[in-house]
Amino acid sequence: MSSIIGKVISVAVFGESHGKMIGVTIDGLPAGIPIDEDWLNAFVQRRAAKGSAIATPRRESDIPRIISGVNPQGKSTGYPLTAVFENSNTHSSDYSFLPDRPRPGHADYPAITRSLGEDDLRGSGHHSGRLTLPQVFAGGVAMLFLRQIGVDIAAHILQVGSVRDASIDPVNPDMEALHDCHLQEVPALDPEAGQRMMQTILDAKARLDSVGGIIECAAIGLPAGLGDPMFDGIENRLA
């Protein structure tokens, strides 16, 4: 039951939502990449949208603590880079109904079954949305690496419910606008569309419901011929 992805560069996520900490180990990263910890911290903080009415009520600092793989000069060593995040704002008693009453739509039942009843289900354990935190950190490290070879990646929320934002120009994407839109509570290229998306989410929240959405992403500077022809191309993986 591993949580590892990647071949040339592998990413291993570990920990449980209500354990002491969660974290990630990135192996295969080249040596000499500048690891800008201030930028990484700001990048990670985007995930939680602290203080927002549409964010999780859980309040934690979510500051990454890098414990290996970066030298005193702030560059990758080429050996496994590991970062951890302390867990503090946990209310484990809120999950006292488990494992007797697994929640529909959650991972409770398959987790209980797969682990033969040994899974730590507090806060959804290893299946919790909190485990996206180390994944976001790993993505930030990957972006720092890609910048070294001229690759830039940015995204926005294209649609929430029936509310749609302006689309990215597929021929000449405005990367500056895509990066700047993340200064808004809802990262849409059209601020008015972002406000309507926000209201759509709040209306669904008031109904104790949820609403789906679409994210649109652009990557520029990618080298030609990237990926494999059949099994490891982007479209192949999506399919």
pLDDT, tens digit, 9 for 90 and up, residues 67-115? 999 999 999 999 999 999 999 877 778 788 888 888 888 888 988 899 9
What pLDDT score was predicted for residue 228?
A: 83
State which H helix or E strand residue 42 sits in: helix 37-48
- Whether residue 48 is predicted with pLDDT greater than 90 in this model: the reply is no
- Tell me the average pLDDT of the chain: 91
For the cut 90, the answer to whether the pLDDT of residue 41 exceeds it is yes
- pLDDT for position 157: 97
- pLDDT, residue 67, reads 97
Q: Supply the DSSP symbol for 102.
A: P
Q: What is the pTM of this model?
A: 0.86
User: 212: which 2 tokens?
Assistant: 């789906």
Whether 163 and 157 have beta carbons less than 8 Å apart is answered as: no
Q: pLDDT of 131-188, one tens digit each? A: 999 999 999 999 999 999 999 999 999 999 999 999 999 999 999 999 999 999 999 9
DSSP annotation of 129 reads: G
pLDDT of residue 112: 87
